Amino acid sequence: MVVERAAPVTDVLAGTGLSVEEYTEIQRRLGRAPHRAELAMFGVMWSEHCAYKHSKAVLRRLPVSGPRVLQGPGENAGAVLVADGWAAVFKMESHNHPSAIAPFHGAATGVGGIIRDILAMGARPIALLDSLRFGPPEDAQVIPLEHGVVAGIAAYGNSIGVPTVGGEIMYAPCYRANPLVNVACLGIVRADRLATARAAGPGNAIIYLGARTGRDGIHGASFASTELVGDPEDRSAVQMGDPFTGKLLIEASLEALASGAIVAIQDMGAAGLTCGLCEMSARGGVGMDVDLAQVPRREAGMSAEEVLLSESQERMLLVVREGREDEVLRIGRRWGLQAVVIGRVTAAPLLVVREGEGAVVSLDPRALVEAPIYTPPAREPEYLAAVRRVDPLTFPIAPPQPALLALLAAPNIADKRWVYRQYDHMVQTNTVVPPGSDATVLRLKEAVPCGLALTVDGNGRHCYLDPLIGGALAVLEAGQNIACAGATPVAVTDCLNFASPERPEVFWTFRETVEGIAQACGALGVPVVGGNVSFYNESNDAVFPTPVIAMLGVLNDVRCHATAGWRSSGDVVVLLGGGGPQLDGSEYLIALHGVAAGRLRMPDLASTAALIRCVAEAVAQQLVSSVHDCAAGGIAVALAECCIIGARGASVALSPAQGQRSDVLLFGEGVGRILASLPALNLSALLQLARRFAVPVQVLGSVGGDRLVIGADGAGVHGPWIDAAVHDLARVWRREAAA
Q: Which residues are catalytic?
A: 49, 95
Q: Please give the Cα distance from 139 to 158 (Å, whole number).
A: 28
183 forms bridges with which residues in the sheet? 93, 130
Q: Please give the Cα distance from 281 to 284 (Å, whole number).
A: 5
Q: What are the distances in angstroms from CA 263 to CA 253, 254, 280?
A: 12, 13, 11
**Mind spelling out the 3-state secondary structure of 319-353?**
EECCCCHHHHHHHHHHCCCEEEEEEEEECCCCEEE
For residue 701, how far is the Cα from the chain centroid?
Answer: 37
Q: Is 56 exposed, middle or buried (0-12, 13-18, 19+ CB in 10 A)?
A: middle
What is the DSSP track for 554-614?
EES-TTS---SS--STTPEEEEE--PPPB-TT-HHHHHHH-----------HHHHHHHHHH
User: What is the SS3 assignment for 710?
Assistant: strand
Q: Please give the Cα distance from 204 to 95 (Å, whole number).
A: 34
Helix %, strand %, coil % of the chain (to 5)? 40, 25, 40
Rg of the chain on CA atoms, in Å: 26
Are the CB atoms for 268 and 76 separated by under 8 Å? Answer: no
Q: Please give the Cα distance from 459 to 588 (Å, whole number).
A: 14
Q: Please give the Cα distance from 677 to 624 (Å, whole number).
A: 6
∠ Cα 68 279 256 (to 5°):
70
Strand order from edge to edge, sheet including 164-171 = 69-71, 78-83, 86-94, 180-190, 124-134, 164-171
DSSP label at 72? -
**Mind spelling out the 3-state secondary structure of 450-516?**
CEEEEEEECCHHHHHHCHHHHHHHHHHHHHHHHHHHCCEEEEEEEEEECCCCCCHHHHHHHHHHHHH
Residues 6 or more apart in contact with residue 718 via CB below 8 angstroms:
none
Q: What are the distances in angstroms from CA 313 to CA 97, 206, 532?
A: 17, 18, 19
For residue 318, how far is the Cα from the chain centroid?
Answer: 27
Helix (H) or strand (E) holding 737: none
Q: What are the distances in angstroms from CA 381 to CA 266, 407, 412, 464?
A: 40, 30, 26, 10
Backbone angles phi, psi at 489, to 5 degrees: -65, 135
Nearest to 335 by CA among 210, 159, 502: 210
User: What is the SS3 assignment for 92?
Assistant: strand
Q: Please give the Cα distance from 561 to 351 (Å, whole number).
A: 52
Are the CB atoms for 509 and 498 separated by under 8 Å? Answer: yes
Q: Is 737 exposed, middle or buried (0-12, 13-18, 19+ CB in 10 A)?
A: exposed
Q: Please give the Cα distance from 540 to 51 (Å, whole number).
A: 26
Q: What is the residue type of 290?
A: V
**Angle at which helices 142-160 and 243-258 cross, to 10°:** 40
Helix (H) or strand (E) holding 660: none
Q: Please give the Cα distance from 487 to 86 (Å, whole number).
A: 17
